Amino acid sequence: MLVVTLVLAAIGFGLLVIALMTGSVLWAWGCIVVCALGGVLLLASALGGRTPTDGDTTDPRPASRRRSDGRNSSDR
């Protein structure tokens, strides 16, 4: 979804350049619509990628760095 957002930003920039070159308000409104759609997609992607953190106590270290007795490999 981030690639789609990037493509929409590039299209919006192109529409902005066209609007500035031609002086047409229609192209400028197209730029605003495309950029707003990209912003909505970016926000949806950011909010959808979150994971719940309700006391998750999983160990982020790889299995080779964990010890079965609960101590760190640096503890002696």
Q: What is the pTM of this model?
A: 0.61
Q: Which segments of the chain does DSSP mark as H helices, in order? A: 2-22, 25-48
> Nearest CA to 16 among 49, 8, 1?
8
Q: What's the pLDDT tens digit per position in 26-75?
A: 999 999 999 999 999 999 988 987 766 655 556 566 666 656 665 665 65
How much is the pLDDT for 48? 86
Q: Is 47 exposed, middle or buried (0-12, 13-18, 19+ CB in 10 A)?
A: exposed
| Residue 1: predicted pLDDT | 81
Instruction: Give the domain ranges of the chain.
Output: 1-46
Is the alpha carbon torsion for 57, 62, 68, 71 positive or negative? negative
- The mean pLDDT of 1-14, rounded to a whole number, is 93
